[in-house]
Chain A
């Protein structure tokens, strides 16, 4: 087990100007589960592949433990890539399916059996070790495939969208399994996904990337509560945070015909940056009915205990689509206009030029 460090790591694909990964600096702690997340083309897979040795590193360094692995071949890095391609061998027992890579690596029989049994205990597969894969359920087969990576006892697990190929039900199931297994094993894990729900539910920390640049690396809670810029604010959370422009006033900001209180230091920071307008953000779940912003309702989606209200508010730049969550038992109706307040402390304010968060 080891910590992993990206130090100013950069990858520029031949024939392109903009780096695919630009000066990446991340320290992943020993035993940590780090998720790299971002939209397609953000550099998350490239970063993982740089760590795996599948992409040359054009600038900076990558360390696994104390070793500088920047120029090492993939097989010398002591990592295990866990891909979605899990073919099990029908004539071999579950134990052999899990341990065959060790046999190829020339490990002694006793050691192979011990490692396979240790993994099988973790994976709840002990009683199946001498059976053929045919006798297993889909979920158990997935676990055998995971067992293959576990028995190799690598320093780091790398997983590149390992669940994207599964159907929705198996995906949620396997997600939970991988996360709990990783915690029991305590092996440093770097996991790539485009799905922010997956990122938020699995990672100890989540690194959000965009255009090859790390936007923020933080615990899921902090990413949600304190997004460091407009991109992270909009990317993390489902439904997404509402973002709109608002005027800077003496004691707050003004939008949708209402003033929203904002702390004095945020307002001071906005003024010191010479801003008369800012971008504000509020999550659908951080709203309550009151005397604040006016929302013209277009559509209401009732999901039982909650209802999502889709409507528009008037902003400095015209009408803006907005989603808020309300009580599903007493939902407002389409066509109505309601007034809502942002719950105390749940307004996010960003520099409308740079997108940066105001008031850390």
Chain B
């Protein structure tokens, strides 16, 4: 048996690693010290042309299988590590066979969950990780991939432009199907709950889990998160006669699930009807405020920013999907935001800050259209808002503190089961 390298582009450097030595015994000067997750295989990091790669020792059949699966996932655009090569036919110095090695490119700036916890042990970190994992999980299921061993250890986390993204790193037990049966999805979820809860219990045993996080309910919540997101993402929405309300509603629900809009895709069925698919992502704290200020110059609180950005995104989907985001944002400020804010009479303008007024007008529009079951022109909404809501509020601009803080803008659950 001779050494064989399977790779899309085989780097000759690959041949010069000490393949006749078990990975565990590779010399320290060759190995890069990086945090490693729990693994049932020996894993080491090395540099190839300056880029860090992970090398995992595993039987040849499994190495090749995982290599192919990772390539497929990359092709399908699922966040996963990139497979570089499989080295097989390894023999040690006594002529005994050694397992094959699967080589993957290390994901830059990514961290295993243990490292995330030890650097930012905040209670909501656990929730963010789970949301990111859930999103990855749902995406994998939607392309017919059953993971069979979904866990925090088999995932890497990366902060990406404010978003918290989860990447699949271990596809060893995974299977690609044309689509998944309910049984396959349920089993995968049960396994994930068991794994994730076990991992959090382990963090707890090691003193790394914030005291306020109880692994069991947090782990169990994965199921609900998953099911809601699955239902949400697998259900496209139909817009008729340019009525934006269903889209706005849809985005509200996505926010309530803890996710943000990553993109909106719209297809016309005919002149009057469009089908819209909304993508989801998980973002880090402060992300919305930063994005809104970049796009519009409006400096507002995080939750207000999220609400405004959702409105902007859905405005963009119906009024200029092919234009540059900044241009549409500028138009949105003048046509939507300022139109609403300037419609408020001067004597009432002190009652709330502009972003909050805009947010409340959006809420009111939703409330009215639910009540009256029709599409309501914005002028009508503003008039109704001013007389029904704003006129009855105290002046907040002169009050101490910030009563228009986060609690006011938190939305209440509206999901109808």
Contacts and interface: CB of A to CB of B under 8 A. Distances in A.
Interface stretch (B177-185, B305-313, B360-368, B373-381): B177-185
B122 to A, nearest CB: 20
A103 B149 contact: no
A154 to B, nearest CB: 13
Given A87-B40, A89-B38, A96 B205 contact: yes
B178 A89 contact: no
Contacts of A52: 183, 187
B183 A54 contact: yes
A198 to B, nearest CB: 15
Contacts of A87: 38-40, 151, 153, 195
Given A53-B187, A89-B205, A100 B197 contact: yes
The SS class assigned to the A binding surface is loop
Given A91-B202, A104-B197, A73 B183 contact: yes
B216 A103 contact: yes
A165 interface: yes
Interface in A47-85: 52-56, 73-75, 81, 83-85
A34 to B, nearest CB: 21
Contacts of B182: 73
Contact of A56 (B99, B181, B195, B216): B181
B240 to A, nearest CB: 32
Contact of B178 (A13, A53, A88, A103): A13
A88 B179 CA distance: 31
A13 B148 CA distance: 20
B62 interface: yes
Contacts of B39: 87
B262 interface: no
Interface in B236-292: none
Contacts of B112: none
B199 interface: yes
A84 B59 CA distance: 12
A54 B177 CA distance: 12
A1 B194 CA distance: 23
Most buried by A among B172, B194, B199, B202: B202
B183 A53 contact: yes
Given A87-B39, A90-B202, A104 B194 contact: yes
A90 B38 contact: yes
Interface string B211-239: 00000100110000000000000000000
Contacts of B220: 104
A63 B99 CA distance: 40
Nearest to B208: A91
Contacts of B61: 164
Contacts of B195: 87
Given A83-B149, A104-B216, A104-B219, A165 B58 contact: yes
The SS class assigned to the B binding surface is helix
A104 B59 contact: no
Contacts of A86: 40
Most buried by B among A14, A87, A89: A87
Interface residues of B, number: 38
A89 B183 CA distance: 27
Contact of A101 (B151, B194, B203): B194
B230 to A, nearest CB: 15
A226 B62 CA distance: 35
Given A52-B187, A85-B172, A87-B153, A15 B178 contact: yes
A54 B187 contact: yes
B206 interface: yes
Interface string B319-355: 0000000000000000000000000000000000000
Interface string A157-201: 000000011010000000000000000000000000000000000
B396 interface: no
A85 B186 CA distance: 18
Contact of A74 (B153, B183, B193, B198): B183
Interface in B140-162: 146, 148-149, 151, 153
Nearest to A88: B38
A104 B183 contact: no
Contact of A83 (B173, B203, B205, B216): B173
A89 B205 CA distance: 10
Contacts of B201: 89, 92, 96, 100, 103
Contact of B186 (A15, A55, A74): A74
A165 B62 CA distance: 8
Contacts of A81: 187
B62 A92 contact: no
A194 B199 CA distance: 33
A73 B186 contact: yes
A55 B186 CA distance: 11
A133 to B, nearest CB: 10
A56 B184 CA distance: 9
Interface string A1-41: 00000000000011100000000000000000000000000
Nearest to B62: A165
Given A89-B199, A89-B201, 12 more contacts: A53-B187, A54-B184, A74-B183, A74-B187, A83-B148, A85-B148, A86-B40, A89-B205, A92-B198, A92-B202, A103-B201, A165-B62
Interface of B: 38-40, 58-59, 61-62, 99, 146, 148-149, 151, 153, 172-173, 178-179, 181-184, 186-187, 190, 193-195, 197-199, 201-203, 205-206, 216, 219-220
21 contacts: A13-B178, A53-B186, A54-B184, A56-B183, A74-B186, A85-B40, A87-B38, A87-B153, A89-B198, A89-B199, A89-B201, A89-B202, A90-B38, A91-B205, A92-B202, A100-B201, A101-B198, A104-B197, A104-B216, A104-B220, A164-B62
User: When A and B form their complex, which 9 residue pairs have the shortest distance between CB atoms, in order from nearest?
Assistant: A91-B206, A89-B202, A91-B205, A53-B183, A74-B187, A85-B149, A87-B38, A56-B181, A92-B205
